[in-house]
Amino acid sequence: MAGAAVPSRETSRTIEVEDLVALVRNYNPRSDGDLIRRAHEFGRRMHEGQLRRSGEPYFTHPVAVAAILTEMRLDDASIVTALLHDTVEDTKATVEDVAAAFGTEIAELVNGVTKLTNLQLSSSEAKEAENVRKLLIAMSRDLRVILVKLADRLHNMRTIKSLVPDKQAAKARETMEIYAPLAGRMGMQGMREELEDLAFRILNPEARASIIRRFITLQRETGDVIPKITADIRAELERAGIEADVYGRAKKPYSIWRKMQEKDLAFSRLSDIHGFRIICTEVPDCYRILGVIHQRWRAVPGRFKDHISQPKTNGYRSIHTTVSGRDGKRVEVQIRTRQMHEVAEDGVAAHWSYRDGVRAQNPFAVDPARWIASLTERLDGDEGYDEFLEHVKLEMYSDQVFCFTPKGDVIQLPRGATPLDFAYAVHTDVGDACVSAKVDGLRVPLWTRLKNGQSVEIITAEGQRPQPTWIDVVVTGRAKASIRRSLREEDRDRFVKFGRELARVAFENVGRRVSDKALTTAARSFGLSHGTELLARLGSTEISARAVVEALYPELAQRAADEVDARRPVAGLAPGQPFHRADCCQPVPGERIVGIRYPGRGVIVHAIDCLALGELEDQPDRWIDLRWHAGRHTAVHAVSLRLTISNAAGVLGRICTLIGEQKANISDLQFIDRKPDFYRLIVDIDLRDIEHLHLVITALEAESDVAEVERMRDLDRKP
């Protein structure tokens, strides 16, 4: 853009027209030098007298943009478009003038770049989606328009210091949000990294300087490890008789900073801050090299990707592996052929690259038309362009992820979100009925952390309702609020019913009966409006039954706190009469019980709702009316719980700790099923009473790695 100039030390080396022609002819000897010279003269004449903010002649910018495109070995039309890309916007020249002088193809390219320049892509106004729609249209007509615009943005970012700070920040944000991710999606990783680093320099100079200082300190302490590791790799390849080029480099400051933010790691804890590329001739050599690397150095589990057998949509092919190198330091190694490397450097632009005067026949270069189709295949009608904006920004937001529904709709979520968050983002009813999920076609646990660009399918079932454990699984406020609301509505009756039973037991322990008046009085002491709310809080363990009794009958509660003799916890038996708890129902103090006489075995104590009692209804002479002694029982009453937990490091330890925190003891533990993702096990826990059992179950249900908790009542374990 033309404008008043402020002299600056930051200037660009002037590239003469013959230098530019020579740069093009280095890769395309058949280039039309006269066409480039005419375009250079036309642009120079149109921009005559215009200066950049730095004080340089304005035309140095279009020439520099053209020079950047020569690094991609682009055709003459692209080079000429770069030389003319600002003439229609900033000079008296028109599209018709360009068409008359250079033909329709170049005029359309220049017009396309002009329209892109006028788009405020990072605007927060409603027209943003329409602007991105125009971006998409420009890309679909001729991708070279985007290549010129990316080169234009790269040169502007290289010379951004001449702008005032506010404009620097705005342009840097737009670069970080739009242009750098777009370059990455086109496979132009080198340009993406430079754009990111230039924007990072403006947006967070302190962080960038800090990382560079740490690099310098690390290099001073350990020496430059890059030439050492490069030499090690070359020596191993020579011993294997494989010819290949080996290059090493430190990763860009922004790449390191982003990893530090995503993984919440200090610089000293980062491992693979150095990367190495091995460039060979044939595809079979790539796999031979991989074998050599893994034989010499230990591979890091989970850090291997084969993009040769599974290439990216933009044509990118390479093998990635991370190994423990010198002194146990992790290094990333990329292995690819020379043709793959060209595509890796230039991305979709490789389709237009020339070599020795002819269009390069790179078998890995992607047809731009097919690439555009793959990029836009999910978009349907005008509504899709809103989503395309998120699609373009996909990889850039460090605090957000963007995932797709099976229909291609984009769902925006915070980083760390799970399929459950995704389900509730689609609709509350979908979240409430969610039973499982598929990510990229594979079934995953509901606590899986989603990544950018994944396709998520939510599987629902009629009758399914939210589980208490979901609160710890989700991270979005919408999901948490929906789950809590549903749990309150659905569990209220259950909590009230269970709370009434807990209150009954607690009141009976002090020789009192539960009444609505007593509950209302106790509710007021806890700041609640009525007794039903108190019962709901009791049932959800927010308030303990003992606290309610203490609020009404403090002296009686103190006497009831005396411990019951664990050897005779049951009242109603004859002196010395032998008894034991039934294995089938495992009753605990607080539950209503009945005794059944068994010849030669004494009395077996069952819970009153035990299914085994159904077989004894016609034998009333064997039944004995029993009850638990009032007071505090010792935690010696074993109850079996069936758990389903995730198969992950440390989960079982956390569960055991959780049970211990509830003052319960694990007396036995048995695995009954082992799957790659889940374990099923039976845990025997020694408990005091029914309230103690409820506390343990509630604590386990709240643990995100516990999928299911079930109290075992097994008729196969009859007395």
pLDDT at position 395: 33
pLDDT tens string 6-17: 333 333 456 889
Higher-pLDDT residue of 369, 244? 244
List residues bridging with 593 in a β-sheet: 607
What's the rounded Cα separation, in Å, for the pair 18 and 444? 60
How many angstroms separate the Cα of 360 from the Cα of each of 71, 351, 352, 366, 370? 14, 8, 8, 12, 18
Give the residue from 312, 314, 357, 319 showing the smallest Cα distance to 337: 319
The mean pLDDT value of the chain amounts to 80
Split at pLDDT 50, 70, 90, the class of 2 is very low
Split at pLDDT 50, 70, 90, the class of 487 is confident
207-359 — its CATH code? 3.30.460.10
Q: Is the pLDDT of residue 422 over 60?
A: yes
Split at pLDDT 50, 70, 90, the class of 451 is confident
pLDDT at position 36: 94
> Average pLDDT in the 510-522 region?
83
Split at pLDDT 50, 70, 90, the class of 452 is confident
Q: Are 251 and 196 in contact (CB under 8 A)?
A: no
> Average pLDDT in the 496-512 region?
79
pLDDT at position 3: 37
Q: Is the pLDDT of residue 383 over 70?
A: no
Amino acid letter at 422?
A: F
CB atoms within 10 A of CB 524: 13
Is beta strand 602-607 parallel, antiparallel or unpaired with respect to 579-581?
Answer: parallel
pLDDT tens string 541-555: 677 777 888 878 776
pLDDT at position 345: 79
**Token pair recorded at residue 555:** 């002296």
Q: Which of 100-109, 131-140, 328-337, 514-523 has the lowest mean pLDDT?
A: 131-140
pLDDT tens string 249-285: 877 888 777 766 655 555 555 556 778 999 999 999 9
Q: Is the pLDDT of residue 714 over 90?
A: no
Instruction: Name the CA radius of gyration of the chain, rounded.
Output: 36
Q: Is the pLDDT of residue 390 over 60?
A: no
pLDDT at position 76: 92
637-717 under CATH 3.30.70.260, yes or no: yes
pLDDT at position 127: 47
pLDDT at position 64: 93
Q: Which of 32, 71, 89, 97 is catalytic?
A: 89
Give the residue from 344, 352, 349, 259 showing the smallest Cα distance to 307: 344
> Average pLDDT in the 89-114 region?
90
User: What residue spans define the domains of the chain?
Assistant: 17-203, 207-359, 374-475, 484-560, 570-628, 637-717
Q: Is the pLDDT of residue 1 over 60?
A: no
How many angstroms separate the Cα of 567 from the Cα of each of 124, 579, 600, 692? 73, 10, 20, 19
pLDDT tens string 35-88: 999 999 999 999 999 998 888 899 999 999 999 999 888 889 999 999 999 998
> Average pLDDT in the 519-523 region?
86
Q: Which of 75, 76, 86, 90 is catalytic?
A: 90
Element (H, E) at 269: none
17-203 — its CATH code? 1.10.3210.10
Contact residues for 40 (Cβ-Cβ < 8 A; gap 6+)? 17, 20, 63, 83
374-475 under CATH 3.40.630.30, yes or no: no
Told to judge if 90 belongs to the known catalytic residues of this protein, a careful annotator would answer yes
Higher-pLDDT residue of 547, 5? 547
Split at pLDDT 50, 70, 90, the class of 133 is low
Split at pLDDT 50, 70, 90, the class of 420 is very high
Report the chain's terminal Cα–Cα distance, integer Å.
90
pLDDT at position 244: 93
Burial per residue of 359-383, b for 16 or more beta-carbon CB atoms within 10 angstroms, e otherwise? ebebebbbebeebbeebbebbeeee
Q: Is the pLDDT of residue 365 over 80?
A: no
